Structure 1
Amino acid sequence: MQIEFLGTGSGVPGKFRNVSCTALRLLDECNSVWLFDVGEGTQQQILRSNLKPRKINKIFITHLHGDHIFGLPGLLSSRSFQGGNTPLTIYGPKGIKDFVQVSLRVSKTKLSYKIIYNEITEPGKIVDDDKFTVYAEALDHQIACFGYRVEEHDHPGELMVDKLKDAQIPSGPIYGQIKAGKQVTLPDGRVINGKDFIGHAQKGRTIAIIGDTRKNPNSYKIAKNADVLIHESTFSKEEASLARNYYHSTNVQAAALAKKANVKKLLLTHISSRYTGKMANMLQKQARSVFKNTYVVKDFDVVDVPFDKNQTV
């Protein structure tokens, strides 16, 4: 599992930061890529990465402001041209379906795949498959806006092959029964419990994505005990009043949430074009005074999300 930042700026594209788009790379987990917001120019950003549009099968939109959706029609069209023929699901606030359909209809764009729309009208579970569960919670922005919590299901414990060999249990189809945790009778008459030869289950990872928002209680629900919290940081702590007036957050507010919610790592994005060079470093330094494991991310940063080997089930 990796997170790749295709756009880390806010409002309008800048020389060093494109507008919002975050890719959750789940190639090892389910051979897929999920996007969170698709700002203008996302296609160009993808060309500078090694992502394949045909691998994108889920897109989550936090809200319908232009810097989060204006790249969507072009990306959908290009996916069709570049071999994408499997269905794609778009999640987002009410209105995202109209935006996409009108854009495609007016431009007379024909897609080679089906789009499934899931317009979110109330918070709760929006994805629940065999590997992941995704929850949406309402945030506090000028228009309907959602944050997303991606929970990976726990991984079953691995078969303890060395222990099986020490017990002189021969390899073969019987290993499949043991891995399933069944009680097995061996050829020599011994009866073993498969569960005794399976390691501890590995706890799944959790990613929290909080888009544009004022400080609000639902952010805690999204972030609680997450391995990684991705949070907007449009303003510095000195501009808390501006952040509130424009329905945004400061770097220090995001850091305080990370600390309260007991997350492992905080990644600050949606950075105003005012903050470049040393000023971006200042945002990070301020946040680290509250929550040490904080990073201000840049376009094309790739962050690995490893398993916590100390967290078993």
Structure 2
Amino acid sequence: MSARELIVLGTSSQVPTRYRNHNGYLLRWDEEGLLFDPGEGTQRQMIYAEVTVTQVTRILVTHFHGDHCLGLAGLHQRISLDRVPHEIDVHFPASGQVFYERMRYASIYHEVGKVAPRPIRGEGVIHETDKLTITARRLDHGVECFGYRLQERDGRTMLPEKLAAAGVKGPAIKQLIRDGSIEIDGRIVKLDDVSLFKPGQGFAMIMDTRMCDSAIELARGADLVLCESTYLSSEEREARAHGHLTAKQAGIIAREAGARRLVLTHFSQRYGSTKPFVEEAKSVWPEGDVVAVRDGDRVSVPKRLGATD
């Protein structure tokens, strides 16, 4: 099983259907488990998907419309019930903190789980490690709404046989990585001589927005883009009025951003089939990799681009 994959828990928009639950998306990314927009019924969907709350390391809410957040009440209680051993950060727009607190303490329970609210007060970096960065950007919706971007840092794959041939070993390897070159027995060994560039992978989460520059920037060069496509182009005027995208607009975002794989979701209950959504997105991005997901789907992050790709 891929260590980097998107597990789709719900794909409906405001109204769930017989086949689509409210939103919910778990991104497995190495040791991280990022749960985005847990709508009503997320606990149940996690059981169907065979994932547990102990796999969640942080929760990220784009905005406080119910289909994106009503599952928070049950999840907070489940975190305590299951005695999750690690702290879970919860990121959300600061303007909706009152709603977050109401859901966190919606009913009586014995709170023993370790949860750290992280209200977002502006665009920028919201989490950073030596391996990755998560940033938030404002989208264009009827209420304050943030999109998220996870970006892995670029790295290097060291080539043991070339290191050995160049006589670089032990502490000298760290020095070479840090400085970019090192002198060994009167010879200059460059990092490029003994390693391959490993470009960092990226994931973008774009929910509930009209067409805007922020959506394109979030998706810029991303390997996997999860994007709302509530409507088809026949309802473009309605989409704009309600602060949403059409499938065609999602395709334009992916194309303009140079993304690698586009995942369409957040479908209005009026549509029975998602096939037209893929067709619309590909009409403006014919070479694109487009997937319209169903509840329970798992979508892998595309393999890393090589140094020469």
**Cα distance between partner residues in 2 of 1:4 and 1:88:** 19
Query: Which amino acid in the other structure matches residue 199 of structure 2?
Result: K
Corresponding residue number in structure 2 for 1:55: 55
Alignment pair present for 1:40 and 2:43: no
Alignment pair present for 1:240 and 2:236: yes
Corresponding residue number in structure 2 for 1:10: 13
Query: Which amino acid in the other structure matches residue 221 of structure 1?
Result: E
Alignment pair present for 1:266 and 2:262: yes
Alignment pair present for 1:218 and 2:214: yes
What RMSD in Å do the two structures reach over aligned CA positions? 2.3
Alignment pair present for 1:283 and 2:277: yes
**Cα distance between partner residues in 1 of 2:279 and 2:144:** 31
Closer/same/farther in 2, CA of residues 309 and 258 from structure 1, 3 Å limit: closer
Q: Which structure 1 residue ranges, 5 or more long, are not aligned? A: none
**Cα distance between partner residues in 1 of 2:215 and 2:9:** 23
Instruction: Tell whether the 8 Å contact from 2:72 to 2:103 is kept in structure 1 after alignment.
Output: no
Displaced runs of 4 or more, over 6 A: 189-192
Percent identity of paired positions between Structure 1 and Structure 2: 32
Corresponding residue number in structure 2 for 1:154: 154
Instruction: Tell whether the 8 Å contact from 1:177 to 1:184 is kept in structure 2 after alignment.
Output: no
Give 1:312 deviation, angstroms. 6.8
Give 1:310 deviation, angstroms. 2.5
**Cα distance between partner residues in 1 of 2:126 and 2:229:** 26
SS of equivalent to 1:89: strand
**Cα distance between partner residues in 2 of 1:53 and 1:99:** 22
SS of equivalent to 2:268: coil
Instruction: Find 2:28's aligned residue among 14, 25, 29.
Output: 25
Cα displacement string for residues 26-65 of structure 1 (whole angstroms, at most 9, x for unaligned residues): 2xx3x22001100000000100123221121211101100
Corresponding residue number in structure 1 for 2:114: 114
Q: Which has the larger radius of gyration?
A: 1
Instruction: Tell whether the 8 Å contact from 1:179 to 1:194 is kept in structure 2 after alignment.
Output: no
SS of equivalent to 1:63: coil
**Cα distance between partner residues in 2 of 1:105 and 1:36:** 20
Q: TM-score, normalised by structure 2?
A: 0.89
Cα displacement string for residues 186-235 of structure 1 (whole angstroms, at most 9, x for unaligned residues): xxx78774736631230111111110011122112211111121110110
Instruction: Tell whether the 8 Å contact from 1:97 to 1:117 is kept in structure 2 after alignment.
Output: no
Give 1:265 deviation, angstroms. 1.3
Corresponding residue number in structure 2 for 1:77: 77
For this pair of structures, how many residues does the alignment match? 299
Instruction: Tell whether the 8 Å contact from 2:162 to 2:194 is kept in structure 1 after alignment.
Output: no
Q: Which structure 2 residue ranges, 5 or more long, are not aligned? A: 177-181
**Cα distance between partner residues in 1 of 2:297 and 2:153:** 26
Give 1:86 deviation, angstroms. 1.5
Instruction: Tell whether the 8 Å contact from 2:199 to 2:306 is kept in structure 1 after alignment.
Output: no
